[in-house]
Amino acid sequence: MGTVWNYLVDRVTVGRPLWLILLPLVLPPLVYFSMRSLSGLGAFRKNVAILLRATVVTLIVCALAEVQAVRKNDKLTTIFAVDVSESIPTDMRRNTLRFVTEEGKKRRTGDLAGVVVFGRNPSVEAPPSPSDPNLALGIESTIITDYTDLAAAIKLSLATFPEDTARRIVLISDGNENRGNVLEQASAAARLGVQIDVLPIEYVYDKEVLVEKISIPPDVKKGETVNINVVIRAAAPTSGTLQLFQKDSDNRRIPAPGYESPVPIELDRGVKVVTLKQRITETNFYTYTAEFVPDKNSGDQRSKNNVAEGFTYARGTGQVLLIEGTRGEHAELVKALREKKIEVKVLVAPDVDGSGGVGGDPLPDDLGQLQPYDTVILGNVAKESFTDQQQKLLEANVHDMGAGLIMLGGPKSFGAGGWQNTPVEKALPVDMQIKAMRVQGKSALVMLMHASEIPEGNFWMKVIAMEALKSLSSYDYAGVNHWEGKEAWLFSLRPIGANKGNMLKLIDRMQPGDMPAFDPLFNLSIAGFKNVKDAMTKHIIVISDGDPAPPSRGVLNTLIQNKITVTTVIVAAHGNDPGALQSMRDIATKTKGRFYNVTNPKALPRIYQKEARIISRPLIFEQSPPWLPIVKYTSEPIVGFSSGVPAITGYVQASVKENELVEVPIVSPLPAMGQVNPILAHWNYGLGRSVAFTSDAGRRWTTAWPDWQSYAAFWSQIVRWSMRPVDNRNLALTVRRDDGKLKIVVDALDKDNQFLNFLQMQASVLSPDLQAQRVSLVQTAPGRYEGTVENAEASGNYFVNLGYSGPDNTKGIVTSGISVPYSDEYREMKSNPTTLETIASLTNGKVLSWKKKPDGEVDLKRTVDESDSFRRDAYTLPPRGFSPLWPNMLWLASVLFLGDVAIRRVAPDVDRMKKSIAARWKRLRGEEVVEQTEYMEKLKGRKAEVVEQNDRTKFAARFDAPNLPEPNAVDEPLLGQSAMQTGPRPARTDPTVQSKPKDAPPPGDSYTSRLLKAKQKVWEERDKDKPKS
């Protein structure tokens, strides 16, 4: 019994055990009532019937309780987690892949093998499958190799396992992790019963040289000679050369003056500081790189850790960067500022085409390049001229670096330039969208997306659709259609309004397919435009590789007739196919759209922004004759201009940010719609200041201004107000990086070298990916303040800006920074097998090892032979799979129920059966069988019994009330009886007649014919009823 119970517990489980409570509630009453109601059946049949009923009820209750069978599966899945980070020596990386390939072949039938590769990120190289993993050709996953995250690799492996097999991870790594916490994940694996075998990759870089860092004073003066300290660490005495480089204005690396040829140096074991001297000749941002090149026989193995970078800047008088959309457009302004002794550098922004930009100057794309400028002016330049990164840079430059930002108006500025929802909008005192404005020129845009086979085509589709949508105003209409097995709207053409969020979500889930022809999608778009009555512009942007069959003449004509313009964007997956180019260009030319041949997918989002901007420009307000803006009050930047400014003829509408810091000294009285129309607005944003001037600087809407005598004074005053304040330079800011954290230390002294105490200090650290982290510094000693910033792991430049305010209302900004030349992977000098061994012991896994040949090379065959990644041992937990039993139970219950009915209706005569069997047995043996008279006699007896009973009934019936129904007239009619009952009713009203023979069926009137008659009668009655109804 015990073993049966154990077996059941092992093989059966209950999903909703609460239902089982029904069993004790239902079974006893069932048995009790059945005992009584079935008492006439005889003991054996009664017991069987009760047993069957009880079983049926039990089965139903079990079905309700979701009883499930537990399947045991002896399959095993092994996932090889392979470390491919930079710290793994190249030859071992090759060996690892060969090991996995060979070890995978030892898979037993039914077992699954999978591969997860990892560095900073893990990726499933081969999902668990019943085929041999083949890594002989290298790995296909894209792995960022500059960090190691063992924990993420285990987490992904755990998530990749199929459910119904035993699980094992074989972790091949050097055990050096610089992200995540592997022991935590290993415990999670142990809890899940997943074994982790480890195969440590061991190495020692005993002759490695590291250029640890370059240290340069953060702030230098023009004409000064600075000491650049290069810190080099050598694991063994060696020799080599050291060279110093600097970056020129185009961000290229050139040898620093005086270091045109490398300097030979000798290194002892340990740390050595080499001091190199440089003279600072101009006010600029300087980036220096020091590179150590080992001699041939030095034994230094990795070159990536032989380079380090550092930067500094030399400040001069204020300098301004003006970025304009068209060359020379702001000549008057530049002249005026230079008159007022403000240095101005002018750059022309590129216009966007298929290659990602054309003409113009290269714009700053790292924060260092922006540092020489104390204010950036954007003069009538559209958003798409800047990459997302550059837009973030412009914002961070104000917020975290304390510089100024001025946006001048024009047809490509503010909302008209597509700047809504950008970081730049965030930095400005105005918002680009106008609330509660009557908009006249609505536009409708349909984007027609075709999957292109460019790398990451789907990703780019989403990016561009989202960018275009973001660039449209909320009054416009947008729709996206694509091929999803057949042509379909992703979302049909509708007002953007509040739908934007949902639209973006839909786009994020979009999976455009490969459509064979353009016609159906154009037809769909045309139908969509028909439902939009108030759109001034109707525009379609098609992105495709040009491969679908070109639109028919009929469809093109419909587009032209309905004034629907089509811009075509070809992404050439197959190179420049002249036919495809021609057909895409044709569509654009015939419908008066634009044509782009995209060679660089990164240009795509900006093309879409430009297209969306061109069709959506309801925000420009122009009117003649000129009218005078109103100077409401003179705020700090326009002190002295209370007498007013000259007239204007237009500006870009924007709305003032709802923030008490925003000041709006100049407004326009037109259009008189009850809202504030800012012409000049300014505020403090983060550490810096920004200004919005919504009319332009003299060419289109302010033609009278350059001749205004105060023109130069007005603009120089505004620009100077926005500029970054000059440092007080009595604070020494030091930044150190240690263990992935930045430590900021400030020593504050006044001019008389007295400690400055009780300063409020806020530091803002910009990481290489422009994420800002803020930290308050705490005073730790007289004149000393400290703070720590976590997560400084990425390599690249970190800028630290310190804003401070003292008790005597002194304020200032100090800037410094630190460069992390290479990832921590290159700092590892030896492997860390201990961590791996801990993982193995936590999860009951095995520690494998590389077998070596006598010459020290890895003996792959022996290594594979002595490991068994598909073994079954005491810790290989076979998984339990569950399969529901309730359908079977319900079937069984219904079958048993039939049994219950049968047992009550069919009474087997056990005696007779016994005798019959005995007789057969005798006959089989050839013995004579005694004639079975007994059965006949029994039958006769039974007949007599029935006749007697009938007579008794008749007799009794004579004394019954005539209308009383017969007790058995309702229930369970037998065929014969029912035939009689369908006969004339008088049998009941006059029981005496019933027994007479004439009431019996007339001779020759067979049972079938009687049935027929009855049926006919029913039909006749029905026919009679019909006309009535």
The answer to whether residue 40 forms part of the interface with another protein (CB under 8 A) is yes
Smallest separation, CB 974 to another protein (Å)? 14
Residue environment code for 215-224, b if the CB has 16+ CB neighbours within 10 A, otherwise e: bbebbbeeee
Rounded-to-integer distance, Cα 763 and Cα 761, Å: 7
In the bound state with another protein, the residue whose beta carbon lies nearer, of 66 and 365, is 66
The answer to whether residue 129 forms part of the interface with another protein (CB under 8 A) is yes
Rounded-to-integer distance, Cα 48 and Cα 54, Å: 10
Selected from 2, 501, 674, 887, the binder of another protein by CB under 8 A is 887
Q: Which residues pair with 678 in a beta bridge?
A: 667
Selected from 791, 810, 894, 1016, the binder of another protein by CB under 8 A is 894
Smallest separation, CB 890 to another protein (Å)? 5
The answer to whether residue 2 forms part of the interface with another protein (CB under 8 A) is no
Reading the block at residue 702, the tokens are: 């302010």
The answer to whether residue 138 forms part of the interface with another protein (CB under 8 A) is no
Selected from 486, 533, 985, 1022, the binder of another protein by CB under 8 A is 486
Quick one: DSSP state of residue 996?
A: S
Q: For the segment 492-531, give every residue that binds another protein (CB under 8 A).
A: 513-514, 516-517, 519
Listed in sequence order, the residues at least 6 apart from 590 whose beta carbon sits closer than 8 Å to its beta carbon are 556, 559, 560
Q: For the segment 550-569, give every residue that binds another protein (CB under 8 A).
A: 552
Contact in structure between 569 and 606 (CB atoms under 8 Å): no
Selected from 90, 134, 977, 1006, the binder of another protein by CB under 8 A is 134
Selected from 29, 501, 578, 854, the binder of another protein by CB under 8 A is 578
The answer to whether residue 1024 forms part of the interface with another protein (CB under 8 A) is no
In the bound state with another protein, the residue whose beta carbon lies nearer, of 545 and 828, is 545
Reading the block at residue 979, the tokens are: 């035939």
Per-residue contact track with another protein, 748 to 767, x per CB under 8 A? --------------------
Rounded-to-integer distance, Cα 87 and Cα 538, Å: 56
Smallest separation, CB 456 to another protein (Å)? 13
Alpha carbon 710 to its chain's center: 55
Q: For the segment 444-483, give every residue that binds another protein (CB under 8 A).
A: 453
Rounded-to-integer distance, Cα 969 and Cα 985, Å: 12
The answer to whether residue 780 forms part of the interface with another protein (CB under 8 A) is no
- Name residue, tokens 């003991």: 43
* Nearest in space to 360 (alpha carbons), one of 368, 374, 373, 349: 349
In the bound state with another protein, the residue whose beta carbon lies nearer, of 355 and 523, is 523
The answer to whether residue 577 forms part of the interface with another protein (CB under 8 A) is yes
In the bound state with another protein, the residue whose beta carbon lies nearer, of 972 and 1023, is 972
Rounded-to-integer distance, Cα 381 and Cα 943, Å: 114
Smallest separation, CB 905 to another protein (Å)? 9
Rounded-to-integer distance, Cα 481 and Cα 489, Å: 4
The one segment of 577-585, 617-625, 805-813, 824-832 that binds another protein by CB under 8 A: 577-585
Reading the block at residue 779, the tokens are: 């005073």
In the bound state with another protein, the residue whose beta carbon lies nearer, of 875 and 897, is 897
The answer to whether residue 22 forms part of the interface with another protein (CB under 8 A) is no
The one segment of 424-432, 488-496, 720-728, 893-901 that binds another protein by CB under 8 A: 893-901
Listed in sequence order, the residues at least 6 apart from 658 whose beta carbon sits closer than 8 Å to its beta carbon are none
Smallest separation, CB 816 to another protein (Å)? 49
Selected from 24, 29, 138, 485, the binder of another protein by CB under 8 A is 485
In the bound state with another protein, the residue whose beta carbon lies nearer, of 738 and 972, is 972
In the bound state with another protein, the residue whose beta carbon lies nearer, of 60 and 344, is 60
The answer to whether residue 140 forms part of the interface with another protein (CB under 8 A) is yes
Is 732 in a helix, a strand, or coil? strand
Rounded-to-integer distance, Cα 179 and Cα 173, Å: 14
Selected from 158, 293, 532, 573, the binder of another protein by CB under 8 A is 573
In the bound state with another protein, the residue whose beta carbon lies nearer, of 415 and 548, is 548
DSSP 577-607: -HHHHHHHHHHHHHTT--EEEES-GGGHHHH
In the bound state with another protein, the residue whose beta carbon lies nearer, of 577 and 727, is 577
Smallest separation, CB 140 to another protein (Å)? 7
Query: What residue type is 188 in one-letter code?
Result: A
Rounded-to-integer distance, Cα 608 and Cα 356, Å: 12
Reading the block at residue 695, the tokens are: 């009319």
Smallest separation, CB 265 to another protein (Å)? 49
The answer to whether residue 31 forms part of the interface with another protein (CB under 8 A) is no
Rounded-to-integer distance, Cα 187 and Cα 184, Å: 5
SS (H, E, C) 757-811: CCCEEEEEEECCCCCEEEEECEEEECCEEEEEECCCCCCEEEEEEEEEECCCCCE
In the bound state with another protein, the residue whose beta carbon lies nearer, of 700 and 904, is 904
Reading the block at residue 916, the tokens are: 């019959």
Selected from 972, 997, 1023, 1026, the binder of another protein by CB under 8 A is 972
Alpha-helical runs (H) found in 803-885: 833-842, 860-865
Per-residue contact track with another protein, 898 to 937, x per CB under 8 A? x-xx--x---------------------------------
In the bound state with another protein, the residue whose beta carbon lies nearer, of 706 and 899, is 899
DSSP 188-257: HHHHTT-EEEEEE---B-TT-EEEEEEE--SEE-TT-EEEEEEEEEESS-EEEEEEEEEE-TTS-EEEPT
Number of residues in contact with another protein under rule CB under 8 A: 38
What residues make contact with another protein under the rule CB under 8 A?
37-38, 40, 60, 126, 129, 131, 134, 140, 453, 485-486, 513-514, 516-517, 519, 549, 552, 573-575, 577-579, 886-887, 890-891, 893-894, 897-898, 900-901, 904, 971-972
